[in-house]
Amino acid sequence: MLTGGSLERTPFAEVVRNLYRERVTGKLLVSSGGEERTFSFDVGQILFASSNREAQLVGDLLRTFDLAEENLLLSAFEKALNEPGRGLAKALTESGAVPNYVAEAAVRALSERIFFDTLRWTTGVFTVTPLETAPDVPVKMERPTGGILLEALRRLPAPASQLNSPLDSGARPVFSPDILLRYQAILVSAAEAEVLGKVDGELTVAQIHIDQRIIARLAATGLVQLVAQGRPIEKSSVPEGLPFLNVEIAGAPPPARLAEQNDLQRDLIWNTYRRLDWATHYDLLGVENDAPVEAIAKALHERARLFHPDHHLKSHLLDARDALETLFARLRGVERTFRTPEARKAYDRTLEVSADTIALPGTAPAVEVQREIARKNFTRAKMLYDEEDFYPAFEMVRQAVEFDPDQKEYWVLLSRIQRKNPKWAKHATETMRRAVKSIPDNVEMWWELSEACQNERNEPERVRALKEILRLDPANRRAQAALAEISSKANR
């Protein structure tokens, strides 16, 4: 992981891009000319920027818009100096200088301004301090890291200075092979969209657009990379072009049926996430085990586009950040596994004896393997049940029952999960009917049937189940008490 260096060797845009790609949680300290600027990151997302000169900067901002009286500003700044980076918004509000929402807006605007201005620094040093949890900040930036970086680059007269080497007009832009960088959710201008629409690995920088600064900006964010003249470019087997990215065009109308597409994306994310613990790589991609290489590559990129972590900033996925991070991390593993035919074959061999996944379509594992799969599925399902994550628990224990129907605890757990959903009450009873047929001489199974019947309010069948318990165990006090209670209610 990037830990420090100089801006002369590593431009600020590259530092930010690396922290984003490496999903860093921590703080970046950049020093130059006596000023220190601190940038907070949470799993690669830029949260906040502050400076040891921020009081002066915010004062200029508020005075520009005539938002506060001079004497109140001075009082606020004195308090803010005692808590750099956090105290300013609080001090501005408590001093009565400005309302809270104005103070927060001012501090957020300052945070972005500090970030934008830092890209002009070409000398200085930086250090990265990793943290276990996200830094505590007064306000958060509301755009993905790549989007903020691109906006900052637009304000530079020469964004090529933020690349490792000068822009080569004969180089050929290609979309980034890194799926995290390639599918960033970024708002682009019409001119930037035009450039992205021409990227094909054949056209050179000079041929794509007369304003090469646009290409330099896109390369600095990592959306595209520049392949030097004379170097070969591997032909891509995945769909390319503007429609297959996560970018939006500023000022363009939203696509037709956007709400429906958002709902489909959200459902796919959550349904996949719930099943992730026992899903194979093929399940994650939505392809068959014998899918050709081209189909796997296409599915991997499509899933990367839909499961990209940047989506957590969108309104329909605000609660899906952990799910997206987990899904994308798993996609990274899939990408590594399917990188070579040998690695794929090795993975396929593990599926033949895997105890952590359900049966695969079209396979017929040995009875011993089925039982081991069932046992592991049941163990995991029990944990999910205790955590009240019922849907994936149901899927796993259902498979356990089918693989090894002689285990009474599998049936019992399946019925109890079904009883958690009022709409599944009849299914819970049917499960236990099947169970007592499979294991007819077990008192616990008949008791669970009676419980399922009670939950369904099926009193006649509940009575028959309780009587069956007494036939098998005449001294069973629970069954005696339940029958007595039923009889007492009937005589009232």
Contact 373, 354 (CB under 8 A): yes
At 361, is the pLDDT very low, low, confident or very high (cuts 50, 70, 90)?
A: very low
Inter-residue contact 87 to 55 (CB < 8 Å): no
Do the strands 35-42 and 45-51 form a parallel or antiparallel pair, or are they unpaired? antiparallel
Cα 208 to Cα 183, 268, 354: the distances in Å are 21, 36, 50
The confidence score (pLDDT) of residue 423 equals 74
Mean pLDDT of the chain: 86
Q: pLDDT band at 359, cuts 50/70/90? A: very low
Question: Is 28 in a helix, a strand, or coil?
Answer: strand
Q: Which CATH architecture has domain 367-491?
A: Alpha Horseshoe (1.25)
What SS3 class is residue 95?
A: coil
8 Å CB contact between 450 and 469: yes
The pLDDT value recorded for residue 158 is 81
In this prediction, residue 188 has a pLDDT band, given cuts at 50, 70 and 90, of very high
β-pair partners for 126: 5, 30
Q: Do 389 and 373 form a contact (C-beta atoms < 8 A)?
A: no
* 3-class secondary structure, 238: coil
pLDDT of 15-55, one tens digit each?
Answer: 999 999 999 999 999 999 989 999 999 999 999 998 887 65
How many residues would you count in the chain?
A: 492
Tell whether the model's pLDDT for residue 95 goes beyond 70: no
Q: Kindly tell me if the per-residue pLDDT of 349 is higher than 50.
A: yes
Distance separating alpha carbons of residues 105 and 365, to the nearest angstrom: 61
Q: 92 falls in which pLDDT band (50, 70, 90)?
A: low
Does 5 or 97 have the greater pLDDT score? 5
CA–CA gap between residue 173 and residue 306 (Å, rounded): 24
- Rounded to an integer, the average pLDDT of 415-444 is 88
Q: List where CATH 1.10.287 sits in the chain.
A: 258-351
Residue 306 pLDDT > 50: yes
Across 230-243, average pLDDT: 86
Q: Which amino acid is at 101?
A: Y
pLDDT value of position 58: 56
Least confident of 229-233, 369-373, 399-403: 369-373
> Can you say how many angstroms the Cα of residue 141 is from the centroid of all Cα atoms in its chain?
18
CATH code for 258-351? 1.10.287
Cβ-in-10-Å burial (0-12, 13-18, 19+) of 64 comes to: exposed
What does the pLDDT read at residue 147? 96
Across the range 393-422, mean pLDDT stands at 86
What percent of the chain shows pLDDT beyond 70? 87
Query: pTM, whole model, 2 decimals?
Result: 0.70
Residue 363 has pLDDT above 50, yes or no: no
Strand partners, 128: 28
Chain region(s) in the chain for CATH 1.25.40.10: 367-491
What pLDDT is recorded for position 356? 42
Q: Tens digits of per-residue pLDDT, 115-155?
A: 999 999 999 999 999 999 999 888 899 899 999 999 999 99
Q: What are 257-305's pLDDT values in tens digits? A: 899 999 999 999 998 988 887 788 999 999 999 999 999 999 999 999 9
